Structure 1
Amino acid sequence: MKTFPLQALQALQALRTPGYRRTVAVRRAAALALLTAAAVNLVSGRAADPQVVTFSRPVGAGSVVEAADLEVRRLPAEAVPDNAVREIDVAAGRILAAGASRGEVLTSTRLVGPDLARELAGGAPPEDYAMVPVALAEPEIIPLLHHGATVSVVTTGDEGAAPVTVATGGRVVVAEAEAGTVLLLLHDSQAAAVAAAALASPLAVVLNGQA
């Protein structure tokens, strides 16, 4: 024969007996049921949220992204960008175009590659463009160059000679102050001209003031 704990028997008796105790017991049971349902809904909702890759620590522009820089988290669908990266392996080993803070969602356009080229080119086919590293004759300007800035490339020429514009409408992908170089996205026709000019004379960039 089964026996019930004294507290269970008292609770059962309270429910059977009309009055204040039954009212309190019913309210407590209802509150417990609501809390349980809310907890279940919360857990279920989080399990349904999409997984995305976020930064686990700050990473500077131009850095090679390491797996240790990233983590996978679940976020509400409305907070996830369409081009969010979903797997760490997709990003590990690639170059970060713009610096990131801890907790930021990693998107494909933050990584140097075709998606970024398409964005900077205004939706034009990325195969029509090339990324060209340019060693600057005056690297002091690099701190003024932000990711996405529009620049023209000019030759510094010999002393007293007028500078010659080699390319216009270049977009800054990465500006590395330590290396004294800037990675530019240029149309194929201008990319070749810049590469050739770099062999003949030092180059500089002129910030056009456009984002």
Structure 2
Amino acid sequence: MDLKTTLKTPGWHRTLLLRRFLAVFLFALATSLMVRSLIATDPLAVVIRSDVPAGQTVEASDVELREIPDELLPSTAFTSIDDVVGLVAASTLSAGEIATAPRFIGNELINSLVTNVTENSGIEEINMVPLKLADPSVIPLLQHGDTISVVSHEPDTGLSETIAAGGTVILAGGTDPSSILVALPRSIAEQVAARSLSSPLAVVLTGDRAVGHPS
């Protein structure tokens, strides 16, 4: 009896043949999935091995490469340890987190944080300016991304004077606990830097975190 006749004729032979076909199909499918799982690997990404304090430079011993499922990998993740070593942490990096560009001081961080600055300054270039504060005790209260105004006192009258508004905190404290790093439009950053040479400076929190919520 040929194969065509066997398949058309009900009976034990047809059942046996169909079972064999099904077994071969399932075996081929399982083999294909196993081979695919062996060949396909999750992409490698840089992961923080141990906590890195804000303002500290990342060293090779602080990071490692790990396989991260593609669906969990941020678009700004680093995939090479060499690209991370030497960068400065904008805020404390926790062990186990994926290293992403906005977590370090640089253009990616500025672009993600200074929307309020660019809206106020049009297309003017953004600069970062380090500021020593007259009262460093307020620095631990600041977070990177905070919107602030920089204030001083008017030399003749002694009254308070706002010398820059809409600044964005890039780094609070870090290796120098008495200073902060602020992003401002270039012209304003230069004015603030010059003023810091002759007058004590303070900051006022003006962004979303400064808005009180009634209980």
TM-score w.r.t. the length of structure 2 is 0.74
Query: Paired residue for 1:54?
Result: 47
Amino acid at match of 1:51: L
Query: Paired residue for 1:181?
Result: 179
- TM-aligned CA distance change 1:112 to 1:183, over 3 Å: same
Q: What is the deviation of 1:179? A: 2.7
Give 5+ residue unaligned stretches, structure 2.
1-25, 210-215
Q: Is 1:96 aligned with 2:89?
A: yes
Q: Whole-Å Cα distance in 2 between the matches of residues 152 and 44 of structure 1? A: 55
Query: Paired residue for 2:125?
Result: 128
Query: Paired residue for 1:44?
Result: 39
Q: Whole-Å Cα distance in 2 between the matches of residues 184 and 207 of structure 1? A: 13
Aligned residues: 179
Deviation by residue 1:20-46 (Cα, 9 ceiling, x = unmatched):
xxxxxxxxxx99x96x8776554434x
Give 5+ residue unaligned stretches, structure 1.
1-29
Q: What is the deviation of 1:162? A: 1.1
Between 115-124 and 52-61, the greater mean CA deviation after superposition? 115-124
Instruction: Verify the 8 A CA contact 1:133 1:181 in the aligned structure 2.
Output: yes
Amino acid at match of 1:197: R
Between 130-139 and 98-107, the greater mean CA deviation after superposition? 98-107
Q: Percent identity?
A: 39
Query: Paired residue for 1:8?
Result: none
Let me know the Cα RMSD of the aligned residues.
Answer: 2.8
Q: What is the deviation of 1:74? A: 1.1
Q: Is 1:155 aligned with 2:152?
A: yes
Given candidates 194, 197, 211, the residue that maps to 2:195 is 197
Given candidates 93, 103, 109, the residue that maps to 2:102 is 109
Instruction: Verify the 8 A CA contact 1:148 1:173 in the aligned structure 2.
Output: yes
Instruction: Verify the 8 A CA contact 1:133 1:184 in the aligned structure 2.
Output: yes
Q: Whole-Å Cα distance in 2 between the matches of residues 189 and 198 of structure 1? A: 15
Runs of 4+ in 1 over 3 A off after TM superposition: 36-45, 123-127, 156-160
Q: What is the deviation of 1:188? A: 0.9
Deviation by residue 1:167-196 (Cα, 9 ceiling, x = unmatched):
011111111165300000111121011011
